[in-house]
Every structure is written in structure tokens, then in C-alpha cells.
Amino acid sequence: MHEAPPSRDLQAPQSTDPQVPQRIDPQAQPSTDRPTTLSSDFDFAMYVLSSGSVLKVGSLCFVDSCSSPFIMSRIFKSSLGSSVQVSGIRCLCDGGKVVSVLCNFHVTVDCSFVRPCNSSEFCLSSVSSEVSKYVFRGQTQVSLSQERNFGNVLYLRELRRHALGAQMRQAVLNGISVNATRPAQPISLGAFEPFHDMMIFNLSETNSFKVPFSLVGGYNVLDGIMGKGWDVKPLRADVVDCHFKFVTLLTVYLDKKHFTLKFSFSYSEAPFSVGPDYRDRCKALLM
């Protein structure tokens, strides 16, 4: 049995005009193992939503009202001002293990109807070759999109911003430990790209290519890069309303010796659970 998501949520741009998406029944789409040809020009290998969720080609996600997960095969926009859409290939599962991929069940949906799966929910080991195939195709689409949009600075900068945001968010999560107050060493974000990185983080000669973002001010810039909730980590992920650690200072800078972009951060512990006003309460702890 194959459960299809509600057709009202599904979109598949078939028109040559990228601004006129058509609503269709996903089961009416042609059965093919090739990526659907879409009119979108702006592809992403990964994308950080404002909620903090990270979408990534090759990872698992749930589509609203579907009980089985999908493998993301494409993340794209029809225009830079439009919402993000995701294409995926449906999986067949046995318990918590993906056992096969339904290449003839291809769905495209607005990302507001998508929830990324936790790595602990499903195992992809038995279909690793299938996943690699879609990751490769997705990366190829991103490469072709960059080639088509070689002169589109806004798109290329957004592409860079989301790649950095996903990397930074994961590094902060991994870097916060139970006992320490800062990671053992700064985190490298790879080769410095001055044309984009200086604008994304406001780096310049004036500030010696080093910008501190503190809890007191500046986190709105980082929220736009990493999404909400990047600065907190519960001490016990399996316990509801447990205490958490929060980032007090994050500094982005250029390692001038190796010409790499790096950041470091420090953090502290809050004696209460996370709530909508956690930042205001955390600021009070630092006063």
C-alpha cells in the first residue's frame, strides 16, 4: 500500500512559466527514475529554515500526512523571493529501517509541509547506494544552477549563507559539552570567501576581520544564518523541560595565517527550562 500526501499540499511546476505552479495528484506523475525536470533556477545542497530545521539533499524527511519518509532529492526555489520547495523519493520501511526506495513515487512539496527526520528514527544503511545516487544528482543540479546563475550575486551569497549556517549550527551543537564552558579549539569553516563572507558577517579591515556576537546584542544576524534555537542545547535530550546550556558569545574571524574562516564560542548553564523568553532570562543571569 502506498499512502499519498494530501493533494492540496503538493505542487509540481510543469509550466514553462516558473511563476505559475500547477497543483496535481502525485500518483498521476509519470513513473521515472530520473529527476523531474522543473523550471526552477535556484538549487541548494542544504538549506536552513528560519525555524532552525536544516534541509539537506540525501537526508530523510516526512511530508505532512504521510506515514513513510522520503529521501530529499532536490531543494530549490523558482525565484529568490519565493518559498523553498523540496522534491523527494518515497521509502519503504521495515520498522526503523529503510529497505527500499520507490523511484516511481516522486513528490514535490512546499517545505512548510516537510519535517526532517531525526537520525535515530530511521536507518539508511541498506539503501546507501540509492541515497548516494540522489545526493550526487542533487549536487550536480546545484552545480548547474550555479553555472546558470554565475552573475547572480544574491543567489550565490544565499547559497554560501545556508552552507555556512548548517555547518555552524551543527558545530555549536556538537561543541557544547556537559562540563566545559567552550570547545577545546576554534571551529574552521574552510577557505575564506571574501566576496560573500565579508558581507554575511560584516567582516572588514575596520574590525580587523573579527566580529564578536554576544547574547546582549548581535544574535539577530546569527539567527538569520543558523535559524532559531541555534544557541541552546538541553543537558538531557531525553528529558522534557530539563536545564540547558546557552551560548554567551560567538566570534567569527579570519585566520590570516591560513586564510580560513573560523569561529569560537563560549557558553554557560541556565538553571531553568527553555521557554519563549529564554534569551531575556539568560541575559539576566549574565548581569
- Residue 195 covered by a domain: yes
- Residue 242 covered by a domain: yes
Asked if 185 and 126 sit in the same domain, the reply is no
pLDDT tier, 40 (very low <50, low <70, confident <90, very high otherwise): low
Asked if 73 and 166 sit in the same domain, the reply is no
Q: Structurally, how many domains does the chain consist of?
A: 2
pLDDT for 166 equals 97
Domain's final residue, options 148, 174, 206: 148
CA–CA distance, 11 with 3 (Å, rounded to integer): 17
79-100 average pLDDT score: 89
Share above pLDDT 70 across residues of the chain, in percent, rounded to a whole number: 85
Mean pLDDT across the chain: 84
Asked if 34 and 158 sit in the same domain, the reply is no
The mean-pLDDT minimum among 113-127, 159-173, 241-255 falls in 113-127
Closest CA to 233 of 242, 222, 221, 223: 242
Task: Name the amino acid, one letter, at 107.
Answer: V
How many residues are given for the chain? 287
- Residue 2 covered by a domain: no
99 contacts 92 by C-beta, under 8 angstroms: yes
Model pTM above 0.85: no
Asked if 119 and 221 sit in the same domain, the reply is no
User: Which positions ≥6 away from 199 have C-beta within 8 Å?
Assistant: 157
The domain in which residue 67 lies consists of 7-148
Asked if 202 and 134 sit in the same domain, the reply is no
pLDDT tens column, 219-231: 999 999 999 999 9
Asked if 14 and 139 sit in the same domain, the reply is yes
Per the listing, cell 529521501 goes with 71
- Residue 240 covered by a domain: yes
More confident residue, 95 or 91: 91
Asked if 280 and 169 sit in the same domain, the reply is yes
- Residue 1 covered by a domain: no
pLDDT for 119 equals 66
Asked if 122 and 192 sit in the same domain, the reply is no
Asked if 162 and 280 sit in the same domain, the reply is yes
Asked if 95 and 162 sit in the same domain, the reply is no
